[in-house]
Structure 1
Amino acid sequence: MSAEYPSEKCLITMPDVVMNKLLGLLDFPAVQCLRKTCPTLRNFIDDVKPNSALIILEIKVEPNCITSLYYLEDFVEIKENLIRIKYCKTPEGCSVEWDKRDNRQQKKLLESDDFVDAASKDIISVLANQKSVMESLNVEAVSPPDDILEEHKEILHKVFEQFLSNLESYLASEPKSLNVKTFETNVGDETQILHILPHIDVGDLTIWNPNRYKVEVLNIQELIKLEQWKKLDSLHISCFCVDLKIEDLLHLKWCDLQYETVSSDMIEELKEAFRTTSHLESFRIFGQSDIQQLMDPRYAGPHIENRLYNVTNSWFFSVSAPERVLKVSFSSSQVLFEFDLLVNVPEGATIN
């Protein structure tokens, strides 16, 4: 330390009150830069935990790198509030890349560091400072091409498991669950969802199959036992079939999923639930190609619509609200349950 800058005037010697005031004047990117300058500042910031003001966190996991995208408050209006950090495996350790506010790329080598652990630590430090409700948490294992070697797919699986385990260890240790409106993830099986879901408060859950060209059965019997499952408002499952009872879904407001086989009994059960339950909003069920034949023939209808080569058969049912009707529409291999206004019922259609 030079005589011009004596140690007693160094930033890290400032009183806690002054340091807290300074942190309050900085935005999240500046705080994170300050955090990486020295262990003393890092420890102080980790203790103070200034709000991350995080709106959306997207995490993309690949065999040799992990990319985190942080969207902060007002990120729609202010492009600077998008932070992208990439952690890559190198022979020397972990290479960290990020974009500065002048759009120049910055790079740093963390010698002997494991890239999964390095990414996990930084992501956890951000989540530890999150005080407000996040709009969305997206955790994705980037799907490799079909022609990639099996050993590379196995590496991706191990890296994803290591990252999920690191994140789970932090989330499970916190006294309060992370509050997120939407959790999105692509998974190979139920166990990967169970790393995260039991430790967050979430309203909307989206799950998709990384193998989008092959519809597989997703077993989520352990998932539906969770309190988090019972508190969900909406569920979207893509490129997976499920084997769930209709009663397992009736706490939801919105639902979008696929069954290997849909029966007339399932259609009738859902119809009656919509007619008698006030919180249901919209369910879309995908099934076999002849699904439109499953409506009970005793009901009058259907009303047939032709839209761009897509034929829709719709049945209408009365509900407790006199100004509304339940509309059950079959098209191709799907059936949609939703409410509509009575005035929108087509002329000539019968209300059952």
Structure 2
Amino acid sequence: MSPSFLEIPDLPIEIIMNYLDYIAIQSVRKTCWDLRNFIDDKKPGIGMNYIEISQTSNTAVRLAMNPPLVRHSDSRSIDLIYEKLEHGCKIRGTTGDEWKTKIVENLNFLDAALHDFKVALNTQKAPFWRVTVKCFSKTFFEKLEEIMKSQKPFTTESIEIHVKSHEHARQIIQHADPKHLKSIEFYPQEDLTSIHETVELESSKNIQNLSHFATASIHFENQDVETIRAIKEHFLQFHEYDKHLYVSNNVVENMFIDAFGAAFEQPRELEQNWFFNVPGNYVKVLKVVNGYRSFEFDFVEKCEVPEGYMILD
């Protein structure tokens, strides 16, 4: 009697499944608990490059996924709309070339969309290129938070967040694995602020490690002398000198002078500049710029320090 598929050793099964695209893997996953557990553990198959869950109205949610653009061009994209019905949920959209509509009785449309979103996150082996979340209602956000708290952080190189408030965005960001995260784009309804490659820097007591970010651009809320000094000391600990922090806020008058002392200002210069020695580096210096409507921290060559400026310790 020939052995069944489930009697094949794990390694050959995984090799076979690595040729399957996302839709095929999900079909196999639904066949039995053994295969479901195997897929959830090994995460085989051709993963998705991009995933988006977005609230399109108070009664509809979109879930879209795209495969890698270069490799596996035969893999299928997924674009689904989950709509609220009086006694259930209507799911319509495409999984490749096929358009379908399905009505499920006694199923909440948000629960259905978020369940499929969670499955997609959990069956992805490699980091996504981008995860996009557009969430504007309180109910949607609370349900999203509920499912995200019940699983491990998801891995993505970038994340795009459209929400009602800064606080909602911060809570969503906490569910992304920082090891892989390279960029964040954040669009709160209350304040159209874009954040690229950043972490939360709201107080000197909450400054996190910026070592895996090359460039940061943020909207800084609670500015004070202690925080400015802490950022400077944090930068001086780096051993990679491609770091650049840009903060787009009006600067409190004399805050930088209180932090670092009087700045040497060139005639007709519209900004204040300070330069600091970098411990153990005789080539680079840390440059701090106060542009009054923004400020910056970055490393420059010592030879770039203009004549007349003092390099501070």
Q: Which of the pair is proportionally richer in strand?
A: 1
Equivalent in the alignment of 1:168: 149
* 1:285 maps onto 2:247 in alignment: yes
Equivalent in the alignment of 2:235: 274
Equivalent in the alignment of 2:287: 327
- From 96, 103, 113, the equivalent of 1:109 is 103
CA offset digits 1:142-170 (Å, max 9, x no partner):
4xxxxxxxxxxxxx21132123313433x
Equivalent in the alignment of 2:122: 128
User: Which 5+ residue runs of structure 1 have no aligned equivalent?
Assistant: 1-12, 143-155, 216-233
8 Å CA contact retained: 2:131, 2:159: yes
**Cα offset, 1:45, TM superposition:** 4.5
**Cα offset, 1:322, TM superposition:** 1.3
- Structure 2 counterpart of 1:141, one-letter code: C
Alignment of 1:1-352 (within 5 A): 15-16=5-6, 20=13, 23-32=17-26, 34-35=27-28, 41=31, 43=33, 45-49=35-39, 50-51=44-45, 53-62=47-56, 63-74=58-69, 78=73, 82-102=77-97, 105-142=99-136, 156-169=137-150, 171=151, 178-185=154-161, 186=163, 188=165, 190=167, 194=171, 197=174, 201-203=177-179, 204=181, 206=184, 208=186, 210-213=188-191, 235-236=198-199, 244-249=202-207, 251-253=209-211, 254=213, 255-276=216-237, 278=239, 281-291=243-253, 294-296=256-258, 298-302=261-265, 311-320=270-279, 321-346=281-306, 349-352=309-312
8 Å CA contact retained: 1:316, 1:351: yes
Change (3 A) 1:86 1:341: farther
User: Which 5+ residue runs of structure 2 have no aligned equivalent?
Assistant: none
Q: Distance in 2 between matches of 1:59 and 1:80?
A: 20
Q: Which of the pair is proportionally richer in helix?
A: 1
**Cα offset, 1:188, TM superposition:** 3.7
Q: Distance in 2 between matches of 1:330 and 1:313?
A: 5
Change (3 A) 1:292 1:98: farther
8 Å CA contact retained: 2:277, 2:286: yes
Percent identity of the aligned residues? 20
Q: TM-score if structure 1 supplies the norm length? A: 0.64
